[in-house]
Amino acid sequence: MVGAGYIADYHTRGLQSIPGVEVAVVVAKTIEEAQKFADKYGIKEVTDDVATLYGRDDIDAAVIGTPNKFHAPFAINFLKNGKDVFLEKPMAMNAEEGLLVKAASDANKQLVMVGHMWRFDTDATYIKGIVDSGQIGEIKKTKGYGIHENWGPAGWFSQKELAGGGALADMGVHAIDTVRFILGDPKPTKVYAKIGTYYGDYDVDDSGIVMISWDNGTESIIESGWWQPHMDGAEAGTGLFGTKGYASVFPTFIKMKVGDVPTKIEPKLPIRTEHCEQPMYTRQMEHFVDCIKTRKQPVPGLVEGQVILDIVDAAYKSSETGEVVNM
pLDDT tens digits along 192-208 = 999 999 999 999 999 99
For 6-116+283-300, CATH gives 3.40.50.720
The C-alpha angle with vertex 241 and arms to 239 and 245, in degrees rounded to 5, equals 110
d(CA 30, CA 144): 38
Q: How confident is the model at residue 93 (pLDDT cuts 50, 70, 90)?
A: very high
Mean pLDDT of the chain: 98
118-272+306-326 adopts what CATH topology? Dihydrodipicolinate Reductase; domain 2 (3.30.360)
- State the pLDDT at residue 116: 98
- State the pLDDT at residue 119: 98
Q: How confident is the model at residue 318 (pLDDT cuts 50, 70, 90)?
A: very high
pLDDT digits (tens, 9 = 90+) for 116-164: 999 999 999 999 999 999 999 999 999 999 999 999 999 999 999 999 9
Nearest partner of 66 among 156, 159, 147, judged by Cα: 156
Nearest partner of 223 among 211, 213, 214, judged by Cα: 211
Phi/psi region, residue 38 (left: phi>0; alpha: psi -120 to 50; beta: rest), is alpha
- State the pLDDT at residue 222: 98
Residue 136 DSSP symbol:
T
Nearest partner of 171 among 228, 220, 241, judged by Cα: 228
Q: How confident is the model at residue 63 (pLDDT cuts 50, 70, 90)?
A: very high
Q: How many residues does the chain have?
A: 327
The domain locations on the chain are: 6-116+283-300, 118-272+306-326
Nearest partner of 239 among 90, 136, 170, 166, judged by Cα: 136
Q: How confident is the model at residue 44 (pLDDT cuts 50, 70, 90)?
A: very high
Say whether pTM exceeds 0.85: yes
d(CA 242, CA 259): 17
Give the distance between the most distant pair of CA atoms in the chain.
66
Q: Is the Cβ–Cβ distance between 136 and 256 less than 8 Å?
A: yes
Report the percentage of the chain scoring pLDDT > 90: 100
Q: Is the Cβ–Cβ distance between 145 and 236 less than 8 Å?
A: yes
pLDDT digits (tens, 9 = 90+) for 159-183: 999 999 999 999 999 999 999 999 9
Strand pairing class (84-87; 112-114): parallel
d(CA 216, CA 233): 25
Question: Torsion angle, CA of 110/189/222/313, rounded to 10 degrees?
Answer: 60
